[in-house]
Amino acid sequence: MERHVGCLSSLESTFLEMLTEAKPLSLPTATSRQDVPQETFRVLIGWSPEQWSVQVRSSLISATPEQHLQAVLACKAQVTKRTAFAPTNPITEIDENDLVRAIKARPEYAYVETEVTNAGGNCRLALVNLEEVIAFQPLVRVDHLETRQVQESLDDEGLYELCFPASRPISADEVTIEPDNNGYTITTLDPNIRMFPWYSVPGIPAGVSFQLQYPSASSPLEMQLFSFPLLRVPNYLQVVHYQDRYVLRNGYTRAADLLFQGIRTAPCLLIEAPNPALIGLKPGMFDLGTVLSVHPPRLPDFWDDTVTCLLKRPALRYVYHVDVTMMPVPR
């Protein structure tokens, strides 16, 4: 296992709404944060929208909006001074072995493989140099890194388990489900616990029929179920190969932990993507133009003070609301 001291940080799945409309510079109004857990992030303001970056800096730095803007523009200038991106291949292929076969036999692997195949791609297990991977997520959480257990003593089995954790059932204390008029409100603190329309789960049957048998009835009442499953999605470290770029799709927190502790090479699920949809681009992330630019952000950039700053914000919770209301409309 190759090790190299010093590099990056991450966050797995929180999406900030990035402000792109032209607006007068202003800072957010201070609010009371007592008893609200706070989280700290590193943010790539060298690539982020200016107004949003100004608000990010204001969370921990006292300055005028104009001073914040000048600092943000200085970060952007540092990016443009860099040498143009030169494609490299950070991937090392791995032979089929007991660890690889064990991961591929898991239902989590089948879930992701089916998702990728349905989108026209293919995937395999490989080793990746995390220092050479592009980041499309603008921020990573860092306030936990110094308290993390040292991973340098990990053997191969422990490293594979870290990068390909087995899923576990959703426990009652992880989710709150409250009836709400004609629906439900589902709340969780885990961003990997998600609610999906039934049809969007990879490999799911087209529909489910259900028979309700009343004791007094001679035959069951047929029902068609259109469900919203609650699922802990597989949390694999995933890298997408699109054109000449290798982009971290999932696993930012673990990538940060590993690089912070000097581990630069890790196993990943490598996705060969014929289209950019498989990268996982979403609102609040960097767009495809940034990923394919001559100066794309890379994972080690999260530790470069010339293009980043710290953000402190309240911890998030994740809320799903399902409502069933009939609305008669003209044909």
Query: What's the confidence (pLDDT) of residue 34?
Result: 59
CB atoms within 10 A of CB 286: 22
Residue 261 clears pLDDT 90, i.e. is over it: no
pLDDT band at 14, cuts 50/70/90? very low
Q: Mean per-residue pLDDT for 194-201?
A: 82
Range from 197-206, 254-263, 308-317 carrying the lowest mean pLDDT: 197-206
CA distances from 259 to 73, 151, 171 (A): 28, 10, 31
Smallest CA-to-CA distance from 42 within 315, 314, 312, 247 is with: 312
Query: What's the confidence (pLDDT) of residue 226?
Result: 78
Q: Mean per-residue pLDDT for 134-162?
A: 83
Query: What's the confidence (pLDDT) of residue 21?
Result: 39
Residue 216 clears pLDDT 70, i.e. is over it: yes
Residue 209 clears pLDDT 90, i.e. is over it: no
- CB 140 within 8 Å of CB 10: yes
Query: What's the confidence (pLDDT) of residue 150?
Result: 56
Residue 175 clears pLDDT 70, i.e. is over it: yes
Phi, psi of 164 (to 5 degrees): -130, 65
- CB 252 within 8 Å of CB 112: no
pLDDT band at 8, cuts 50/70/90? very low
Range from 30-44, 230-244, 292-306 carrying the lowest mean pLDDT: 30-44
Distance between the two ends of the chain, CA-based, in angstroms?
64
Query: What's the confidence (pLDDT) of residue 75?
Result: 98
Residue 9 clears pLDDT 50, i.e. is over it: no
Query: What's the confidence (pLDDT) of residue 73?
Result: 98
Residues 112-123: tens digit of each pLDDT: 999 999 999 999
Q: Mean per-residue pLDDT for 159-165?
A: 93
The strand pairing partners of 299, in sequence order, are: none
Residue entry with tokens 């998600």: 194
Query: What's the confidence (pLDDT) of residue 206?
Result: 73
Residue 28 clears pLDDT 70, i.e. is over it: no
Which residues contact residue 54 at a Cβ distance below 8 angstroms, ignoring those fewer than 6 apart?
25, 27, 65, 68, 69, 72
Q: Mean per-residue pLDDT for 201-217?
A: 85
Q: Mean per-residue pLDDT for 11-25?
A: 38
Residue 68 clears pLDDT 90, i.e. is over it: yes
Query: What's the confidence (pLDDT) of residue 15?
Result: 31
Residues 277-320: tens digit of each pLDDT: 999 999 999 999 999 999 999 999 999 999 999 999 999 999 99
pLDDT band at 152, cuts 50/70/90? low
Q: For the CA atoms of the chain, what is the radius of gyration?
A: 23
Query: What's the confidence (pLDDT) of residue 230?
Result: 87
Rounded Cα distance between 157 and 162, Å, is 9
Smallest CA-to-CA distance from 269 within 128, 107, 98 is with: 128
